[in-house]
Structure 1
Amino acid sequence: MAFQRPAYLASPTLPVVHLPRMGLARWLLLLLVCFVSCSHSDLAPKYRFLKQATDAPPVSYYDYIVVGGGTAGCPLAATLSQKFQVLLLERGDSPYGNKNITNLASFADTLADNSPTSASQRFVSEDGVINARARVLGGGSCLNAGFYTRASPDYVRKAGWDGQLVNQSYRWVEQLVAFQPPMLQWQSAVRDGLLEAGVTPYNGFTYDHIYGTKVGGTIFDRNGERHTAADLLEYADPQRLTVLLHATTARILWRTQEGSGRPKARGVLYRDARGRFRSAYLREGGELIVSAGAMGSPQLLMLSGVGPRAALEKLGIRVVVEQPMVGQGMSDNPMNAIFVPSPSPVEISLIQVVGITRLGSYIEAASGQLFASTSGGGGSPPPKNFGMFSPQTGQLSTVPPKQRTPEAINRAVRAMNSLDQGAFRGGFILEKIYGPLSTGHLELRSRNPDENPSVTFNYFKEPLDLRRCVEGIKVIEKVIDSKAFAPFRYPYISTEALLNMTVNFPVNLRPKHDNDSISLAQYCKDTVMTIWHYHGGCQVGRVVDKDYRVLGVDALRVIDGSTFNYSPGTNPQATVMMLGRYMGVKILNEGLQAKKKD
């Protein structure tokens, strides 16, 4: 179903504002931001099973307990509830009624909010790259740019999945949360520019992962409203599912099986919003499934005594099973972007077009325009928050840690607010590396489940990853220089000048190089960002088996992106949601087969 073109984009009275003369530093503050408001509905599904953890009984019993109501956890719990009594524990709040989540225009605002109760929990990797993890029902699908695309058939084969069930599971997801995006002027120019740059053939609109240029799906509907993994709970049996919000799982509870001495998960200890602890236990034959994401799942295993012995004992955690590979193999797909200021008005768009190259990199783009009417009338200052690329981000990257005071940040905010309205026009074209060879690790900082663990991704440690980035930037340069893209760039600003502008933007906390003309390889290192596709930490064959059972213990699985060796497709959310449904069906079928044997 295609979008209808928003009325504000069809207006014949859009002003043409020429590029203002301002310093490069001021221009660089505009990267990746500025979207106008879209229509929004506060109507939320009336889920009878959605409750606050403060209302839960002190002790409860279920067939399945799923920790993490995210991109995998929601479809998994919904599927299991068709046959079993299921508890889904989510440490965050509901996304419904939160305009920052639902509204496409507020994408950056969600990431900018780093309050203790926000849907986005910021963390900075040891590499100095600012990142975010979800803290909300629906997980990362509530925070991301919305692009929806399947994994390639080759990825499915290598994962050992049943192709027919995979396709059925994708379709199950797509019926509720996937849509065809609009193709307006700016995104169309990027599409045609990719084709001019040789990223062929053109594959049209498709969810499939195919070499060439395509228009992918989106989880934003025709009104610009986000649909998330939480919407998949609509498939649940409301009589068999309980979802508890603000329920932070502290650790897994174990019992030792007689005879074998093998540990078996028997439940979880979790904390409600008032700090009171409660217990949930498994019924006979039940399972605990951790779906807390690439940060949360290895963190919970280690907090529960499954992980590297030395690291656990250092924090006084009793070792249940020594598992040295928990937290290893952490990887993030590095992203680098070039900001392109536009002389012409541009539509508001997140990721819609993708160029899938044979070089090992993917090319995507987004655009935005801030109109004065969205901030209170002519001359009103722009919003203060611009997602991860905010004045606060810039402040953090240029000032020593001990000098990062509220006063210094306020000065940066005032500088942002003084920018001319005409500056907020343009977009960015980005490339990300597929299947980076560079990997890192995750470690606990403390025994507090609310505290972010320490994570290192080792961006560009492997030379091939850096070469792929350079080739991706070269493709972006060709797109910018293409005839198709000419209406959306200033002819007197060269691609080299755009690179020099962007390289000085404080997108991360890594040291910068002040050369007038740096190499593309150095540009990749200096401007590396996340595209929120981090994965690993509980990988198949290292921490879990092919059925996602944790090695060395019983009645425990991990089902989410932490099990991936490579991030699937150009963007993983479709496959993570599919995996939740896929494994839910597999587990249901296992139960039916067990009954037949009995």
Structure 2
Amino acid sequence: MSTLGWWRLIYAAFAGFLLFHGFSASENAPNYSFMHNATSAPFLSYYDYIVVGGGTAGCPLAATLSHLANVLLLERGGSPYGDPNITKLVNFGASLSDLSPWSPSQRFISTDGVINSRARVLGGGSCLNAGFYTRASPEYIRQAGWDGRLVNQSYEWVEKLVAFEPHLGHWQSAVRNGLLEVGVVPFNGFTFDHINGTKVGGTIFDEQGNRHTAADLLEYANPRGLTVLLYATVQKILFRFRGRRSRPEAYGVIFRDGSGIEHRAYLKYGFKNEIIISAGALGSPQLLMLSGVGPVAHLKAHNIPVVLDQPLVGQGMCDNPMNAVFVPSPIPVEVSLIEVVGITHFGSYIEAASGETFSASVTTTSRNYGMFSPKIGQLSTVPPKQRTPEAIARAVEYLDNLDQAALQGGFILEKIMGPISTGHLELQTRNPDDNPSVTFNYFQHPLDLQRCVQGIQTIGKIVESESFSKFRYDYMSWPGLVNMTEHSPINLLPRHYNSSIPLETFCRDTVMTIWHYHGGCQVSRVVDPDYKVLGVEALRVIDGSTFNYSPGTNPQATVMMLGRYMGVKILRERLGN
């Protein structure tokens, strides 16, 4: 066994011990009787539904299906409960900066050079993100062909457990008022709805700063109808042909536990039993390809037996480009993640985060700079392909040696809607633990770049607004400016929009991710409107990989809703037959 394999075995065994004995960092952590380490699983088992991926969609989907069927939920990571780096707002960024083999976050770097992360934990991206909760727009719902009434019911089902109203501090309030002052109107108050103008959105952090995730939605499950296996990495979907001209039919999966032991789970013989992939925008197209469903030339290049030539698997990959600037403050600011959003008329979203956070985690021994820390890959003062490990190390060292007063302030960011620019995903190896290669082609389309420029210009106007005046220095009087301009790993606001650095160049050179990547298994290309894989029987994909563009300003609410929504639809179909 490799060194990595031994570490995974040791960690899985330790995690299993904690799980079995009920250890948790939170008094309110659920005690799920149906959750087990995969090492305890039988080598052979049978279920009505097998859900691959216990993430933002997989958890609500499995919880819903468990009320009328026997469901297996396979998650390649561990439990979020008991890990303060996940559960506490003040520790945001600690998991994203953890590069260990058992981290709940698996780092990947797109071929564009932008550093990114994918979830490896029960609850998926809802365990790692900045917590903003907002619904999709009515137009998005209509275009998706969803049943509006069931959509609203599904959102409400999610919100009862995981969504809260944030209490704005002074800095977030100044951003809100600045947005209104510069014309991002009307003010829509606090709302989960996606409405043009400025609003206060929801959050999955409660008043005590505790994170609530998609894993919490498993509280809705029927414990007698659900089995959740942790550290269970699916190797491939199994297919069979019932006749010479029949279509391939999914009938089981092969997965390995944390010690590398192989297990098989099969669908019970029965009408409408299915395998559902909810492994995310990277994991779902990757698993389809590893199972033989994908572009035939690419599969053959990796010596993968072809089940179905599907050239559109892995196509249409998108990531919403994000650009942010640091605004130093002469007075202290609160610690906050995303709470306010300006939904502009030109297709850019303006959001903000503030304050320096300090991690109590044993895995983080120095300062944690939250959403825009070089430790989590958000190093934007050098062009993407120059963000090497050495450059990140220099940036972290620089920040750690700065006086705290120089980091007093916050970030205002813009994220374009869409985007129009798209890329693709390909396998690098046949190992499901390895990241695929993904290209997003940031700003390839000129409209995406135009929206970024307008977004940065809007940020400049907010900073210069009267509403924001007490949180900004007079630019020439800021004492840290001289020392931070040349070598700082923190972006400062471009002061002269038509000077030596055009904003188009600024956008390209400072682009980062906000972790809202999607695509790879899109509706009408890889799956039908009911999320059934085209050309295949008994297989669906239900997650963000099916999106043509990201819903709302932030997708997690809609991904959780989709899990519940499709769970209800599948059960209705099952009952109808």
Question: Normalising by the residue count of structure 2, what TM-score does the alignment of the two structures yield?
Answer: 0.89
* CA deviation map 1:283-329 (0-9, x unaligned): 12310000000000000000000000010000000000000000000
What's the CA shift string for 1:398-442, capped at 9, x where partnerless? 99999957xx97666544332212223111000001011100000
In the alignment, what sits opposite 2:495?
none
The 2-side partners of 1:269 and 1:503 are apart by 53
Q: Which amino acid aligns with 1:466?
A: L
Residues 412 and 475 from structure 1, CA distance in 2 versus in 1: closer, same or farther, beyond 3 angstroms?
closer
Match for residue 58 of structure 1 among 43, 47, 50: 43
RMSD: 2.8
Cα deviations by residue, 1:190-211 (Å, 9 ceiling, x for unpaired): 0000000100000000000000
Matched residue type, 1:529 = M
Could you tell me which amino acid in structure 1 is paired with residue 563 of structure 2? Answer: G
Q: Which residue matches 1:570?
A: 553
The match for 1:324 among 296, 311, 323 is 311
SS across alignment from 1:585: helix
Alignment-derived partner of residue 79 in structure 1: 64
Work out the CA distance in 1 between the residues paired with 2:443 and 2:382: 20
Q: Quote the residue 2:447 is aligned against.
A: 464
> What secondary structure is seen at the aligned counterpart in 2 of 1:359?
coil
Q: Does 1:433 align with 2:416?
A: yes
Verify the 8 A CA contact 1:533 1:567 in the aligned structure 2.
Answer: yes
Q: Report SS of the residue matched to 1:521.
A: helix
Q: Superposition pairs for residues 372-451 of structure 1, below 5 Å?
A: 382-383=366-367, 389-390=373-374, 393=377, 413-451=396-434
403 and 128 in structure 1: CA distance in 2 versus 1, 3 angstrom threshold: closer
1:280 is matched with 265
Contact between 1:109 and 1:387, CA under 8 Å: does it hold in 2? no
Q: Which runs of 5+ in 2 are unaligned?
A: 1-24, 492-497
Partner secondary structure for residue 485 of structure 1: helix
With 245-254 and 390-399 compared, the bigger mean Cα shift is at 390-399
CA distance in 2, matches of 1:129, 1:279: 37
The question of 1:104 aligning with 2:89 is answered yes
Give the 3-state SS of the residue equivalent to 1:441 in structure 2: strand
State how far apart, in whole Å, the 1-side matches of 2:505 and 2:380 are: 22
The Cα of 1:255 is off from its aligned counterpart by: 1.0
1:98-247 → structure 2 map (5 Å cutoff): 98-247=83-232
User: Is the 1:480–1:489 contact (alpha carbons within 8 Å) kept by the matching residues of 2?
Assistant: yes
Query: 3-state SS of the aligned residue for 1:108?
Result: coil
How far apart, CA to CA, are the structure 2 residues paired with 1:528 and 1:314?
Answer: 33
Partner Cα distance (2:489, 2:235) in 1: 36
502 and 559 in structure 1: CA distance in 2 versus 1, 3 angstrom threshold: farther
Q: Give yes or no for the alignment of 1:478 onto 2:465.
A: no
For residues 75-97 of structure 1, the C-alpha deviation after alignment (integer angstroms, 9 at most, x for no partner) is 00000001000000000000000
Q: What CA deviation, in whole Å up to 9, does each residue of 1:434-470 have, x standing for no partner? A: 0111000000001000000000000000001100111
Write the distance in 2 (CA, Å) between the matches of 1:417 and 1:283.
56
Structure 1 residue 44 displacement after superposition: 1.6
2:291 to 304, 318, 335: 304
Distance across 2 between alignment mates of 1:333 and 1:137: 24
Other-structure match for 1:585: 568
Q: Measured at CA, do residues 503 and 392 of structure 1 come closer, stay the same or move farther in structure 2, by a change above 3 Å?
A: farther
SS in structure 2 of the partner of residue 265 of structure 1: strand
Deviations 1:559-593 (A, max 9, x none): 00000001000000000000000000000000111
Cα displacement (A) at 1:253? 0.7
- In the TM superposition, what is the alpha-carbon distance from 1:389 to its structure 2 partner? 2.7
Q: State the shift of 1:41 in Å.
A: 2.8
Assess if the C-alpha contact under 8 Å between 1:392 and 1:413 holds in 2: no
Give 1:383 shift.
2.3
Q: Residue 63 of structure 2: SS of its match in structure 1?
A: helix
Question: Percentage identity across aligned positions?
Answer: 67
Could you say what secondary structure the match of 2:505 adopts?
A: helix
Q: Secondary structure at the match of 1:473?
A: helix
Instruction: State the alpha-carbon separation in 2 of the partners of residues 570 and 354 from structure 1.
Output: 8
User: How far apart are 1:261 and its partner, in Å?
Assistant: 2.7
C-alpha distance in 1 between matches for 2:130 and 2:506? 24
Deviation at 1:63, TM superposition (A): 0.1
Q: Deviation string for 1:65-111 (max 9, x for gaps)?
A: 00000000000000000100000000000000000000001111111
Change (3 A) 1:388 1:255: farther
Change (3 A) 1:90 1:502: farther
Structure 1 stretches lacking a partner, 5+ long? 1-39, 509-514
Q: TM-score, normalised by structure 1?
A: 0.86
SS class of match (1:187):
helix
Q: CA deviation at 1:149?
A: 0.3
Give the letter aligned to residue 416 of structure 1: L
**1:478-515 deviation line (CA, Å, top 9, x unaligned):** 110011111111023599x99x978976589xxxxxx9
How many pairs does the alignment contain? 541
The answer for the alignment partner of 2:341 in structure 1 is: 354
Is the 1:384–1:413 Cα contact (8 Å) retained in structure 2? no
User: Which amino acid in structure 1 is aligned with residue 422 of structure 2?
Assistant: T
Q: What's 1:25 paired with?
A: none
Amino acid at match of 1:441: H
C-alpha distance in 2, partners of 1:588/1:245?
25
Distance 1:401 1:358, change over 3 A: closer
Deviations 1:358-410 (A, max 9, x none): 10110000001358x9899xxxx9526767732585599699999957xx976
Match of 2:20 in 1: none
| 1:395–1:492 Cα change, 3 Å | closer
Contact 1:43 1:96 (C-alpha < 8 Å) held by counterparts = no
Conserved 8 A contact 1:438-1:457:
yes
Query: In structure 2, what residue type is equivalent to 1:577?
Result: M
* Cα 1:295–1:403 shift into 2, 3 Å: closer
Partners of 1:503 and 1:527 within 8 A in 2: no
SS in structure 2 of the partner of residue 423 of structure 1? helix
* Distance in structure 2 (CA, Å) of the matches to 1:179 and 1:290: 29
Could you tell me whether the CA contact under 8 Å between 1:112 and 1:388 is conserved in 2?
Answer: no
Cα distance, 1:404–1:46 mapped onto 2, change above 3 Å: closer
CA 1:100–1:398 in structure 2 vs 1: closer, same or farther (change >3 Å)? same
Provide the secondary structure at the position in 2 that maps to 1:109: coil
SS of the residue corresponding to residue 93 of structure 1 reads coil
Aligned-residue offset at 1:477: 0.7
In the TM superposition, what whole-angstrom CA distance separates every residue of 1:313-366 from its partner, at most 9, and x where no partner exists?
Answer: 000000000000000000001000111011111111100000001101100000
In structure 1, how many angstroms separate the alpha carbons of the residues matched to 2:548 and 2:380?
35
